Chains A and B, each alone.
Chain A
């Protein structure tokens, strides 16, 4: 590993650690990580109880994914904007470590931390509601989790500069939370939606992540479907990272040209 890469990695890890430390103190993050997914889990467990015990794991996975998406949207999405708010963006862009690495470190930390949502939903369904929970294909489920995390990180890296480049996009942030819950089929199949929405779902990594996790946790499909979901996750992760790279360059160039780095 060359020296530059090692330095960048060290900076990313430090940024991730800082993100985790500040998240622990942020009640808004705690709400997104724990309260909201748990309330959704309670509602879904109640509403889906007539569908039998095997739907409990479906709800655990689905409500956990709502926590992951909400945290990604509001915490990782604000990855760069938050530095603006605290006045540290100018400093971060003038250090030798590229800004991309710093935001990557923060996003990896945020997304990994969001797994707490799924664990909390599992504990709730298991202990409070007494559902017998088991993951039908644990190894494949774990692989799906890893691929899901990768794709969510890539998505976070995509939306963070997009929100900075166009503040009007960020103003839609509040209205972007539930559409993904719906279009990604976190808690019900997208077959309930009109056919014209299906291509939009296919472009969303959260849809393929939900599909892979639901199949591997509650045995609702075969190996081909799992592999197809993994493949799409990998492809979309690559595409998101490529777009994110361009957006980061554009963000920094435009901010320096227009002298708007610290301007809201």
Chain B
């Protein structure tokens, strides 16, 4: 006797539960695989000390340049630390499936692709937030950053929005790693260009028009501006437009990444180029 079609089709609720599980399991496993947690030194070196030194370098350069308090540079570079997780972490989580040979298995499953792709960013968003908190901590301890006027909730929301938007860019770059071998070159370049274009070190108003246009479409630009305002004492409500802009930018990059991922899967299956670089 034939089984009725509706009997084998999962309900919306079952679908949602399955995709949520896929999202979190994929997120956790890809994150654990990235740092091979048996040796936490790699994490400490890449996620705690490298960002500290980078922030110190640019803050000291800023102090030398302007002979002023380094607050401007500390905030900009502390916020920029989120790109370590957002760009490198997310990219390597997605690219890792191809480098380690697990991508064909993933493409062979009926798993929801949106959950799969977005899940790769989840832990890096949490991790990126932690990185920014650490960076602000370093700023307070070593460079005299004053947070006495800051609304902690507003700053947390700004950091979360900036981390999400940077992870959105990371998703797009990560999907690029499925079609090129040079993704680390692209990643590193984007990461360093953010130091110039995001306003972390140079006030955007002083940049030429074309550079301001580039800044406008990048993540972090609005997040850094919002963080500076919040640390000066601005309320969450007053920086809401900046936060919303940051989230929209992040969503656009994440969607572009998702469509690139789908396009890659389609092409790879059609042409048999899944493991060809």
State which of A172, A182, A187, A188 has its C-beta within 8 Å of the C-beta of B41: A172
A30 to B188, CA, bound (A): 11
Q: Is B149 an interface residue (CB 8 A)?
A: no
User: Chain B, 176-218, contact with A by CB distance < 8 Å: what is the 0/1 string?
Assistant: 0000011011001100110110000110001000000000000
Instruction: Given A30-B185, A50-B66, verify A178-B196 contact (CB < 8 Å).
Output: no
| Chain A residue at smallest Cβ distance from B57 | A178
Instruction: Please give the distance in Å from B144's CB to the nearest CB on chain A.
Output: 13
A31 at the interface (CB under 8 A from B): yes
Does the CB pair B46–A175 fall under 8 Å? yes
Q: Mark A9-39, 1 if CB is under 8 A from B, else 0.
A: 0000000000000000001101100011001
Residues of the B chain whose Cβ atoms lie less than 8 Å from the Cβ of A27:
181-182, 184-185
> Could you tell me how many residues of chain B have their Cβ less than 8 Å away from some Cβ of chain A?
33
Q: Give Cα A179–Cα B60 distance, bound, in whole angstroms.
A: 12
Instruction: Say yes or no for B53: interface residue by CB 8 A criterion.
Output: yes
In angstroms, how far is the closest chain B Cβ from the Cβ of A6? Answer: 39
**Among B42, B61, B185, B188, which residue has its beta carbon within 8 angstroms of that of A187?**
B61
Q: Is the interface of A mostly helix, strand, loop or mixed?
A: helix
- A42 to B206: give the CA distance in the assembly, Å: 14
Beta-carbon contact of B185 and A174 below 8 Å: no
Complexed CA–CA distance, A184 and B185 (Å): 26
Bitwise interface map of A from 165 to 208 toward B, beta carbon under 8 Å scored 1, else 0? 00010011111011101100001110011000000000000000
Cβ-based interface call for A215 (8 A):
no
Q: Are A39 and B195 also in contact (CB < 8 A) when A27-B182, A175-B45 are? A: yes
- Distance between Cα atoms of A50 and B93 in the complex (Å): 42
Across the interface, name the chain B residue whose C-beta is closest to A42: B196
Q: Is the CB of B192 within 8 A of A35?
A: yes
Give the one of B61, B182, B193 with max A CB within 10 A: B61
**Interface 1/0s, chain B 47-59, versus A by CB < 8 A?**
0011001101110
Q: Which residues of B contact A28 (CB under 8 A)?
A: 184-185, 188
0/1 interface trace, chain A 42-61, chain B, CB 8 Å (1 if under): 11101110110000000000
In this assembly, does B33 line the interface, its C-beta being within 8 Å of a C-beta of chain A?
no
Nearest residue (CB) in B for A51 is B65
Q: Are A182 and B56 in contact (CB under 8 A)?
A: yes
- Contact B42–A171 (Cβ < 8 Å): yes
> Known: A27-B184, A42-B196, A168-B41. Contact between A182 and B46, CB under 8 A?
no
- Which of A35, A50, A178, A192 is packed against the most chain B CB atoms within 10 Å? A178
CA distance A40 to B201 in the complex (A): 11
In the bound assembly, the distance between CA atoms of A179 and B65 in angstroms comes to 19
Does chain A have a CB within 8 A of B156?
no
Most chain A CB within a 10 A radius of its CB, from B44, B53, B185: B53
The answer on a CB contact under 8 Å between B195 and A192 is no
**Closest Cβ of chain B: how far from A55's Cβ, in Å?**
9
B223: Cβ under 8 A from any A Cβ: no
- For B58, the closest partner residue in chain A by CB is A43
Q: Name the contact of B189 in the complex, choosing from A31, A44, A173 (C-beta under 8 A).
A: A31
Whether the pair A39, B193 counts as a contact (CB closer than 8 A) is yes
Q: Contacting B192 at CB < 8 Å: which of A39, A173, A177, A182?
A: A39
The minimal Cβ–Cβ distance linking A45 to chain B, given in whole angstroms, is 10
Question: How far apart are A72's CB and chain B's nearest CB, in angstroms?
Answer: 17
Is the C-beta of B39 less than 8 angstroms from some C-beta in chain A?
yes
Whose C-beta in chain A lies nearest to the C-beta of B42? A171
B62, CB-defined interface residue at 8 Å: yes
A188 with B61: CB separation less than 8 A: yes
| Contact A31-B188, Cβ < 8 Å, known A39-B196, A43-B202, A172-B41 | yes
Query: Given A39-B195, A51-B65, A172 and B45 touching (CB < 8 A)?
Result: yes
Bound Cα distance A46, B195 (Å): 12
Bound Cα distance from A168 to B40, whole angstroms: 10
Interface centre among A40, A47, A51 (most CB of B within 10 A): A47
Chain A residue contacts of B196, Cβ below 8 A: 39, 42-43, 46
Show 11 A/B contacts (Cβ-Cβ < 8 Å), sorted by A.
A27-B185, A31-B188, A35-B192, A39-B196, A43-B195, A43-B201, A47-B201, A48-B61, A171-B45, A182-B53, A189-B64
Other A-B contacts than A171-B45, A175-B50, 20 sampled, CB-CB below 8 A, are: A28-B184, A30-B185, A31-B184, A35-B188, A35-B189, A36-B192, A39-B192, A39-B196, A43-B195, A43-B201, A46-B196, A47-B61, A48-B65, A50-B66, A174-B45, A175-B46, A182-B57, A188-B61, A189-B64, A192-B64
